[in-house]
Chain A
Amino acid sequence: MDYKLPFAEYNDALKKNKLLGLKCKDCGFITVPSKMVCRKCSSTNLEIVQLKGTGKIQTFTTIFVAAEARECECPYTIVMVELDEGPWIMGNLFVDPNRATMDNLIGKRVDFGVKVFPGDRYSAGNIARPQFSLAE
């Protein structure tokens, strides 16, 4: 059985600022990131849908010790955002690390953007990810 939305296709779309997910034609549940089956009912009756990319910050962290070859990105802030369509997604946030506090970030609405990790020797290519910013 063909994989409905492979990572390569998701990644190409994300680089064009389009966040793709899967909508279940049986139960309506949105699955992000892409899987073989619906996360709720395990159906393979899925269609690709574009998500808005907007949502609310649920949690965050600012990284001061990075992995090999990513030291130059430090410090950077990672967020888990609950998308307006329901799923949670991991991405980065444009924010002054000194202002990355619970009061300033938790529950705050974010706008969607994209940034590409060019890849390293282990990553089998580049990886686009959401780069959120605090909504005005």
Chain B
Amino acid sequence: MRKVAVVGVGETKFGPAQSKTAVELLAEAAMDALNESNLKPKDIQAMFVGNVLGDFSEGQGMVQSFAAENIGCFNVPANRYEGACASGSMAVRDAFMWVASGFYDIVLVGGTERAATMGTPLATRTFAMFSDSRYEYGAGITFPGVFALLTYLYSIKYKIPLPKLKEQLAHVNVQSYQHGLHNDKAHLKKAVTVQDCLNSMMVASPLQLHDCCPFSDGAAAVVLASEDAAKKLTKKPVYIVGVGQSSSGPLCNQNDFLPRLRARELAVEQSYKMSGLKPSDINLCELHDCFSIASLIAAESLGFFEFGTSGDAWVKGQADIGGKVAINASGGLKSKGHPIGATGVGQVYEVTKQLCGEVEPERQVPRAKVAMTDTLGGDAGTICNIILQRGW
């Protein structure tokens, strides 16, 4: 396998419902990534795109082919990835493997979504399509509902009384909002207190509004190149040194592991093994905080904190910039936003910028050399992890 580097990245602002199409959003992010890579559209050999609900949000399927043509990557093979919220990371992983194998030298990976454009009722309905449609949607499961079920299981398993756990979760939200305040790309920019979180509207007990990420519109893109190609294009190649992906069936059939998610533990094991790195080597991590409790579950399975202790770690600042590992210095899905097909690509955008030392100074992780991304689709139906390392 060849070494593969990220040589350029681009991202639109993530935000509420807006009028640009999914193709237009992706085109903007892709052009920024191409320009940063010192490449022209004709240099791109293939395109890999995460897009989940284009069919529902604007009646557009096969967005990847229209996007490729739109940006001048005429007639390249273009693939769409659908793994719910993990789609973008699946696209990055597959693109990585095609370049690592030697089949391609330079590929473009993108993600685009208009989740906010759908509005809350349709977005809630379509997001629920990533639970089991026959055996779970009948009961009216929603996405917040899935993580609400896990919240009580977490409280029971680790013997953390619910009021204490709720306060820990509020600290997770406060930290994410705080980072997002300084991120120009972020969707929700506001200062929120622990009390604001505990006073917010109930969505799916015990999760409240501030425990939930928003539905966002937005796009992101990254260019991947082989080591040889990368050295000619940039002085700052960021190498993808480990990837992992795993799947699971319906939530009920994950019962032996809940509230832990088996797919994540298998995926992250693959990525650590490939990279030869361990949790203590990771300086910063963009993890899938679709809901506050998801942050705790993820941080433990990624190996950053002992099981049942990550809420306490957040309260003590151990998950913050300057702590043991800087988690979601972008604001995460909570504040930066969650345009689902673009989210995983946006995580790679963020950690690449962090490793290059190019984010807003208020949220720059100092001396960052190694970063991880973690993206969860559905109720853990797909989980994907990527480890990236500075190449200079």
Contact = CB atoms under 8 A, between A and B. Distances in A.
B164 to A, nearest CB: 13
Interface in B135-154: 135-142, 144-145, 148-153
B126 to A, nearest CB: 8
B253 A39 contact: yes
B155 A78 contact: no
Binding site secondary structure of chain B: helix
Contacts of A11: 134
Nearest to A126: B138
Nearest to A91: B139
B38 interface: no
A90 B152 contact: no
Contacts of A80: 149, 251-252, 255
Contact of A78 (B120, B140, B156): B140
Contact of A69 (B125, B148, B150): B125
A90 B139 contact: yes
A94 interface: no
A63 B148 CA distance: 9
A61 B204 contact: yes
Interface residues of B, number: 42
A73 to B, nearest CB: 6
Interface string A62-77: 1111111111010010
5 contacts: A59-B156, A60-B152, A61-B148, A65-B142, A68-B122
Given A61-B151, A62-B202, 16 more contacts: A59-B149, A61-B207, A64-B201, A64-B203, A65-B124, A67-B140, A70-B125, A78-B139, A80-B149, A87-B255, A91-B139, A106-B156, A117-B137, A117-B140, A127-B134, A127-B138
Interface of B: 120-122, 124-125, 128-129, 132-142, 144-145, 148-153, 155-156, 162, 201-207, 249-253, 255
